[in-house]
Amino acid sequence: MTTMETPPFDPGTQLGYLETIGRVSGQPRLTEIWFGYENNAIYILSGGGLGKDWVRNFQKTPQVRFRVGESWVSGTARVVDDPVLEARIRRVVAGKYYHFNPDGEEPLPNSWSKTATPVAIDLD
């Protein structure tokens, strides 16, 4: 698949920073995280599943910000349950960090990439 829009950041950057609003405190919370980018969306895998604080935060307040380098983008975060998009997110994120072509036939490399909860941030 190809990227439909050019992001205002380098999608090859190793780390991004997800800013959610704390579900209890109401204060911004920043989480350093691996990510992928495709089709005007940021893709993330939550190894801690639905129990991670950052996941629980965006489930209460889906509007988030994401920083790569010095660039910030805004969007709406959601847990993905569509099996086709879920598979794509796994391949895009794992492909970036385990150095394989997400459009290829290589199997996913580890249990994290096979079982982590897929998240999409649809950018504004």
pLDDT in the model for residue 5: 73
Sorted by where each begins, the domain ranges of the chain are 16-123
Burial (0-12, 13-18, 19+ Cβ within 10 Å), 32: exposed
Q: Tell me the per-residue pLDDT of 35-61, one tens digit each, with 9 for 90 and over.
A: 999 999 999 999 999 999 999 999 999
Using the predicted structure, report yes or no on whether residue 4 has a pLDDT greater than 80: no
Using the predicted structure, report yes or no on whether residue 72 has a pLDDT greater than 80: yes
Q: Are strands 41-46 and 63-68 parallel, antiparallel or unpaired?
A: unpaired
Burial (0-12, 13-18, 19+ Cβ within 10 Å), 68: buried
Amino acid at 64: V
Region 71-100: mean pLDDT is 97
**CATH number assigned to the domain covering 16-123:** 2.30.110.10
CA distance 61 to 94: 27
**Contact residues for 122 (Cβ-Cβ < 8 A; gap 6+):** 40, 41, 75, 76, 78
